[in-house]
Structure 1
């Protein structure tokens, strides 16, 4: 899976919390749940759709805490997932994949009226993160063997 390396204008608008201001969406309701007004906190991870994905990913990582608002999750990540451990790497890969695929599904719903279930998105994220984590473990092992990594 190829995640974007640059921030496009749409993402910048979302990050500012002005989701509907892009002009593509007439309704201010979240395209994922259709219940609440769309905002960055709602979209990541207060929406029932995205919250179900993130809570499954947290459980998969052995984390039993409830989902938090976007800024709280980012603050938690800064404090708890900034190291080089497998757990920190897995968490960071999970949050990036989760945000990317939820945002992608949101856009697909708006522009093409196609949707994936939260189970499909969760499966895609788990596959990607498992691959990334196992690759990271292999790379770290090789680097240690060659005395390139502490």
Structure 2
């Protein structure tokens, strides 16, 4: 069995966990849009260790902002993984805008009502 190690999202690099979730230009565009949507955008770290530290720092509090950040992080990670798998196993792909909107819709659907109002009407 021959495995293609090329990233199916950007086709520019060998796929690794670090590349797929934080270095791939496709992933970067998704994270940028999602984080701007919740007013939490800052430059994404480029290494896995820095990414974990950044996530911990932004999600460690019990504030609404930290809760939203954690939900976006979970949904974004799942959305990227799901898009990757659809490209590999179903030979289907979506544009960045479509993936971002799906992630946003799923995030809103899972938010407690008190937090929905914070982001519900922001442009995705």
* TM-score bracket for this pair, using the shorter chain length: 0.7 to 0.9
Structure 2 partner of 1:112:
90
Structure 1 partner of 2:73:
95
Matches within 5 A, 1:69-84: 69-84=47-62
What TM-score do the two structures reach when normalised by structure 1? 0.69
Where structure 1 has 5 or more consecutive residues not aligned to the other structure, the ranges are: 1-23, 139-150
Q: Contact 2:33–2:100 at 8 Å: present in 1 too? A: yes
RMSD: 2.0
Q: Contact 2:31–2:76 at 8 Å: present in 1 too? A: yes
What TM-score do the two structures reach when normalised by structure 2? 0.82
1:70-106 Cα shifts (integer Å, max 9, x gaps): 4322211212312221111110000110110110110
**How far did residue 116 of structure 1 move?**
1.3
Larger Rg: 1
Where structure 2 has 5 or more consecutive residues not aligned to the other structure, the ranges are: 117-124
Higher relative contact order by CA 8 Å / sep ≥ 6: 1 or 2?
A: 2
Q: Contact 1:41–1:71 at 8 Å: present in 2 too? A: no
Report how many residues are paired. Answer: 115
1:50-78 Cα shifts (integer Å, max 9, x gaps): 11000111111212311224432221121
**How far did residue 136 of structure 1 move?**
5.4
